[in-house]
Amino acid sequence: MLVICCVCHKTKAHNRWAKQAAKSGAQLSHGYCPQCYRQMMEKIENFFAMNGYRKSA
């Protein structure tokens, strides 16, 4: 199964993320590459901070 980032469309192969086209007919699973994951987590944390939520201890 091939993992593809749902934001930048990089694919993960052999524990590395690279910008390449997915092979035709390959089974795909969507997730986040490390860079997009960090960006998304920052957006989520900012959203909660702006709406009065606090991190639990």
Query: pTM for the complete prediction?
Result: 0.75
Residue 5 has a pLDDT of 94
Nearest one of 18, 23, 16 to 8, comparing CA atoms:
18
Q: How far is Cα 52 from Cα 27, in angstroms, rounded to an integer?
A: 41
Q: How far is Cα 28 from Cα 5, in angstroms, rounded to an integer?
A: 10
pLDDT surpasses 90 at 31: yes
Ordered by start, the domain boundaries in the chain are 2-50
For residue 53 the two structure tokens come to 């939520």
Residue 20 has a pLDDT of 78
Q: How far is Cα 45 from Cα 41, in angstroms, rounded to an integer?
A: 6
Residue 57 has a pLDDT of 60
H or E, element range at 3 = strand 2-5
Q: How far is Cα 57 from Cα 33, in angstroms, rounded to an integer?
A: 27
